Chain A
Amino acid sequence: MLSFIARRLGVMVLTMICLTFVVFYLVNLEPNLKKLALTQTNSRATQEQVESWLTRYGYRDAFLERYAEWIGLWPKQPARDEAGKPIPRFSYCGETVEPRLSGVLEGDFGCSTKFRTKVSNKLFPALEATGILMFWVMVVMIPGALLIGVFAGMREGSKTDRTLSILAIGSTATPEYVSGVIFTVIFATWLGWFNGSAASATFKGITFVNFTLPVMTLAIYGMGYIARMTRASMVEVMTAQYIRTARLKGLSFKAVVVKHALRNALIAPFTVIMLQFPWLLTGVVVVEIMFRYQGFGYTLVEAAGNNDIDLLLGCSLVSVFIVLITQLISDIGYALLNPRIRVQ
């Protein structure tokens, strides 16, 4: 088991290196650099001014060297002013003039050119805000989905099963940007129960009124999928031999479902829930933009829209890390929950 985890962690690190390398390559494409230079100098800068800014701030150094600087295997060089004298690259991030090792490995995620602050100052509060959102989404989504799935799968082909299955199919057909619009129309514009925007949640704290719609929108889309997986797994378990034995023994239907079927039926949904995180990540971005909540998704969109290199790299690193770590947890959890699976 330990060697399995070690190997998986190794593959994970390799994947992260490959992916950040790709992202690094894409954000450093020539047109992207030009865009950055234009926003950082002024939008009427001439070709030569752009070129000199890029050279002086180190964007024209060798590609691999710059990647190594970002990772923290190569000392970061200071920028130069017009006379060639060293100046700090981004004074608002407290960078110094002497070259030093300061990359991701040293815990320095770099400097956001859009928000004019350290990436860590921007990224971690945003992650915390999104964490709160995710927590409430999970609180609503998981019990709801499992209940629907179990009730539907308990008696295959019954009326309850048909109705719940159609509902689940409907919810998987409704992406966040569609359900967000529909819920806002119903609950904010017509009924007036909730706020159509969660902007106040960022500054004044979360309330039932401003947070319900984002949570609901995110939860519904994921719920249908998990419910369908739970249903399938429940249906399979209900036809198993030991359930028939339990029924023939004279146990009541309720006791069979609760004591015998449920435990085994919930193994598969566990993996599915863990693998939902990458999907939720996209949903988070949609919902945060739609309801104006300043979390991770909002930061990602701002970073991408302004080609804020370090911030975008930070965001990618975090999201890739989340995706891979949830995959690992799902694999380990599956092995632990299901005694029939033995990891070689």
Chain B
Amino acid sequence: MLQFISPTDIVIHILLYRLWPVWLSMAILMGASYRYRKRLGLYGQLYDSSVGIAGIAILSFWFFTAVFSHLVSPFHPLEQIAVMRNALPGAIEPKSGYPFLLGGDKLARDVFSRVVDGSRIVLLIAPLATLVALTVGITLGLPAGYFGRKTDSFLSFLANLVLAFPVILLFYLLVSPEIVETGLPRATAGVFFAFPIILACMAFGTRYIGRPVLLAVQLLVVLAITYWLYSTFVFFDDPFGLIQVTASTLNIFVAVVFASSPGVFRIVRGLVMDIKTRDYVAAAQTRGENPWYIMVWEVLPNARGPLIVDACLRIGYTTILLGTLGFFGLGMPPESPDWGTTIKDGSQLLRAFIHPALPPAIALMSFVLGLNLLADALREESLKD
């Protein structure tokens, strides 16, 4: 027979004994930010509205949970302890004497540890994929909006092609072990990672063309980053041995970037078409500046407000996409602790046990909610100016 601890003890255990590093770091970060909010620019202004504070609180909670996941989670997310199968919350594991705070799932793993550990996967892939999608969208959206005509028609047609695909069909076609076998994800990743590099080269090349030494240094740095990016993600051979990327993770990453970059493209294109009619663009054109210089250094910085808001919303959307992939069992390994997979596993026996499905569902919802709140607060702030 299993011993149980009381519900009050569960709450105390979770909030105090497990999550204390998270609370401590949140207190330090938010306290310091609040104290110096006047000097922190846009980020500091967020502390003036309750929506902004709520958003930052939720996001920093998940960020620090992911960072300190080894301290927070009491068990290994893949460890199976046979007696704990479907154990209710608070059941004490006989060997270590430590409770399964949110119960055990159908394979006798600790639900709490899995949710905490799952946050690492989500918080790593979602922002990175969004960042790459953002650079792809920006690099293609700038010329489409600026030059218009044929460039625009062609690129817009391509973007609409991808947007006309229902996301789920795209995932079923692009994320499968069979696709990994063909090497298609690696090739696509190679193409996607070229965009940040093109953007960086364009930015430095147009601005510092008159100062060859500085330019050479910058391009060398870009080259080094390129080397690291490609060797780690495309050829799976990190020169520092820090990050292990598997072929299926890359497949997920590529699919998510592919699904969300046309959206960024459309937004950037719209913004550029609006901004290029402004006087400062006309002034730069009269000065005889290179069109790429105008795009990167005159137009793009002035489009940053809506782009930051969109990036926030998009990270949330990417998280939802990752969850969808997990829910359909695409890409992620079946024992992966990411939230989508855990929700899928839990929802299959919802009639009998609710505790394995509910915590990851609430985790995913709260994280996306935090991002949406932050985006809303940012939008309010940018409307104030």
Number of residues on chain B facing chain A (CB within 8 A): 45
Number of residues on chain A facing chain B (CB within 8 A): 49
Given contacts A177-B343, A178-B365, contact A316 B169 (CB under 8 A): yes
The 0/1 profile, CB within 8 Å of B marked 1, for residues 184-197 of chain A is 11001100000010
| B361 interfacial by beta-carbon distance below 8 Å | yes
Alpha-carbon distance A19/B354, docked complex (angstroms): 41
Given contacts A19-B161, A173-B368, contact A282 B181 (CB under 8 A): no
Q: How distant is A313 from chain B, measured CB to nearest CB, in Å?
A: 11
Alpha-carbon distance A316/B371, docked complex (angstroms): 32
The 0/1 profile, CB within 8 Å of B marked 1, for residues 313-343 of chain A is 0011001100110000000000000000000
List residues of A (284-307) whose CB comes within 8 Å of B's CBs. 285-286, 289-290, 297, 300-301, 304-305, 307
Q: Give the interface segment out of A27-35, A60-68, A138-146, A263-271.
A: A27-35
Q: How distant is B55 from chain A, measured CB to nearest CB, in Å?
A: 10
When distances are taken between beta carbons in the complex, the residues of chain B under 8 Å from A304 are 169, 172-173
When distances are taken between beta carbons in the complex, the residues of chain A under 8 Å from B347 are 177, 180-181, 184, 290
| B285 interfacial by beta-carbon distance below 8 Å | no
| A120 interfacial by beta-carbon distance below 8 Å | no
| B327 interfacial by beta-carbon distance below 8 Å | yes
Please determine whether B316 and A323 come into contact, CB atoms closer than 8 angstroms. no
| B143 interfacial by beta-carbon distance below 8 Å | no
| B331 interfacial by beta-carbon distance below 8 Å | no
Given contacts A182-B358, A300-B168, contact A286 B372 (CB under 8 A): no
Alpha-carbon distance A266/B194, docked complex (angstroms): 43
Alpha-carbon distance A178/B343, docked complex (angstroms): 8
| B191 interfacial by beta-carbon distance below 8 Å | no
Given contacts A31-B178, A31-B182, A169-B376, contact A319 B324 (CB under 8 A): no
Given contacts A35-B178, A185-B358, A289-B328, contact A323 B166 (CB under 8 A): yes
Please determine whether B182 and A23 come into contact, CB atoms closer than 8 angstroms. no
Please determine whether B164 and A15 come into contact, CB atoms closer than 8 angstroms. yes
Which B residue's beta carbon lies closest to that of A34? B178
Given contacts A27-B173, A184-B350, A301-B328, contact A173 B161 (CB under 8 A): no
Which of A22, A174, A297, A316 meets B365, CB within 8 Å?
A174
Given contacts A15-B160, A31-B178, A172-B372, contact A181 B169 (CB under 8 A): no
| A132 interfacial by beta-carbon distance below 8 Å | no
The 0/1 profile, CB within 8 Å of A marked 1, for residues 307-340 of chain B is 0000000001000100110011000000000001
Please determine whether B165 and A178 come into contact, CB atoms closer than 8 angstroms. no
Which B residue's beta carbon lies closest to that of A165? B376
Please determine whether A19 and B166 come into contact, CB atoms closer than 8 angstroms. no
List residues of B (142-167) whose CB comes within 8 Å of A's CBs. 157, 160-161, 163-167
| B77 interfacial by beta-carbon distance below 8 Å | no
Q: How distant is A83 from chain B, measured CB to nearest CB, in Å?
A: 32
Which of A30, A180, A189, A319 meets B169, CB within 8 Å?
A319
When distances are taken between beta carbons in the complex, the residues of chain B under 8 Å from A5 are none
List residues of B (71-115) whose CB comes within 8 Å of A's CBs. none
Which B residue's beta carbon lies closest to that of A186? B354
Please determine whether B172 and A301 come into contact, CB atoms closer than 8 angstroms. yes
When distances are taken between beta carbons in the complex, the residues of chain B under 8 Å from A307 are 178
| B137 interfacial by beta-carbon distance below 8 Å | no
Q: How distant is A164 from chain B, measured CB to nearest CB, in Å?
A: 13
Please determine whether A175 and B323 come into contact, CB atoms closer than 8 angstroms. yes
| A9 interfacial by beta-carbon distance below 8 Å | no
A-B contact pairs, 29 of them (CB 8 A): A15-B157, A15-B160, A15-B164, A19-B161, A26-B173, A35-B178, A173-B365, A173-B368, A173-B372, A174-B365, A177-B347, A178-B323, A178-B361, A178-B365, A181-B346, A182-B361, A184-B347, A185-B350, A185-B357, A196-B350, A278-B163, A278-B166, A282-B166, A285-B166, A289-B328, A319-B166, A320-B164, A323-B163, A323-B165
- Other than A281-B166, A282-B324, give 4 A-B pairs with Cβ distance below 8 A: A29-B184, A174-B368, A304-B172, A320-B165
| Interface positions of B (Cβ within 8 A of A) | 157, 160-161, 163-169, 172-174, 177-179, 181-182, 184, 316, 320, 323-324, 327-328, 340, 343-344, 346-347, 350-351, 354, 357-358, 361-362, 364-365, 368-369, 371-373, 376
Closest 9 CB pairs of A and B: A31-B178, A304-B172, A173-B369, A173-B368, A281-B166, A178-B361, A282-B168, A175-B320, A31-B181
